[in-house]
Amino acid sequence: MTDIAAAPRRDTALTALFRHARYVIAENPVTGFAFALFVLIVLAAILGPNIVPYNPLSSDTAQALKPPNAHHWFGTDQLGRDVFSRVIVATRLDFFIAVASVALVFLMGGLAGVAAGFFGGWTDRIVGRIADTIMAFPLFVLAMGIVAALGNTVQNIVLATAIVNFPLYARIARAEANVRREAGFVEAARLSGNSDWRILAFQILPNVFPILVVQMSLTMGYAILNAAGLSFIGLGVRPPTPEWGIMVAEGAAFMVSGEWWNAFFPGLALMVAVFCFNLLGDGLRDMVDPRRRT
């Protein structure tokens, strides 16, 4: 029922957002570039296995360790697998790990933080204590420990990456919810008889949401780096699965003998992806909060 009333208003808000987005992109071409790159990454993640020229798993020992050439743009690895195909196909897994872990921490950290900021008291103390305890560890080391304890799987890499990012989300959500706790519109909602939970869901959350979305795109880069680092040391993803971190690890041995392309291209893909997410995060932040522009 509310949909009918809300639909036209949301529509104008959306068009306004698009206009604003176009304005920001026009003003800052770097954000536009980052967005184009992002679309490319998403396309590679979706279409990857269907568009690559070679099967990423099939080996051809006659073609082993060939430098980049017309047939193999990124060269071939020690088993003669096409590095280009492997790098492209790996996009899906790396992107999935990053998106899944960021979505997970968004739910855990965002909700816990909003609850802590809104309710205060014990909720606040417990969430704060959990966040502080996680922050007492060097984050990558904690992620290693978590994956080691829970088991060496991709799901646990996602979970570990989400857990180490928890304090960041919880703190931001807490701060944003806390300043709105006594705001006029919250008081108004309370006076009209809304319950705490209803206020939380319909007044506070929608306001904190955009800020957390910016945080999501800023932490995507870190999530990819963290996951790739874990698989670089041999956790989570197992060969022969194409994944950027493990491909760099496999190619590392050939770096000292001059076959650079094995580790270089997956590493480059990793770097480009992280770079893209960081730029995009900065651009999104400009859109949501112009005051924080750097």
Partner 1 sequence: MLTMILKRAAMAIPSLIGVVIVTFLLTRALPGDPAAYFAGPAATPQAIQEVRVKLGLDKPLIEQFGLYVLDLGHGNLGNSLTTGQPVLTELRTRLPASAELTLLGLFVSIVIAVPLGILAATRPNSLIDHACRVIATLGVSLPVFFTGLILVYVFYYLLGWAPAPLGRLDVFFDPPPQITGFYLIDSLIARQPEVFMASLKQLILPALTLGIFSLAPIARMTRASMLAVLSSDFVRTARASGLSPFTVIVTYAFRNAMLPVITTLGMVFSFLLGANVLVEKVFAWPGIGSYAVEALLASDFAPVQGFVLTMAVMYVALNLMIDVLYGLIDPRVRLEA
Whole-number Å distance between alpha carbons of 69 and 118:
59
Whole-number Å distance between alpha carbons of 270 and 279:
14
Told to check if 142 binds partner 1 by CB under 8 A, we report yes
* Phi, psi of 76, rounded to the nearest 5 degrees: -130, 155
Q: Which of residues 224-243 bind partner 1 (CB under 8 A)?
A: 225, 228-229, 232-235
| Residue of 154, 274, 280, 284 interacting with partner 1 (CB under 8 A) | 274
| Residue of 110, 221, 236, 242 interacting with partner 1 (CB under 8 A) | 221
Q: Is the peptide bond before 240 cis (omega within 30 degrees of 0)?
A: yes
Asked whether the beta carbons of 138 and 226 are under 8 A apart, the reply is no
Structure tokens at 166: 């928890």
Least CB distance from residue 267 to partner 1, whole Å? 4
Told to check if 157 binds partner 1 by CB under 8 A, we report no
First and final C-alpha spacing in the chain: 43
> Is the Cβ of residue 24 or residue 189 nearer to partner 1 in the bound state?
24
Least CB distance from residue 89 to partner 1, whole Å? 19
Whole-number Å distance between alpha carbons of 84 and 81:
9
Whole-number Å distance between alpha carbons of 52 and 180:
50
Told to check if 257 binds partner 1 by CB under 8 A, we report yes
Told to check if 279 binds partner 1 by CB under 8 A, we report yes
What x/- string results for residues 159 through 198 when contact with partner 1 is judged by CB under 8 A?
----------------------------------------
* Phi, psi of 236, rounded to the nearest 5 degrees: 80, -95
* Phi, psi of 57, rounded to the nearest 5 degrees: -105, -15
Least CB distance from residue 205 to partner 1, whole Å? 28
Binding site for partner 1 (CB under 8 A): 129, 132-133, 136-146, 148-151, 221, 225, 228-229, 232-235, 245, 248-249, 251-252, 255-258, 260, 263-264, 267, 270-271, 274-275, 278-279
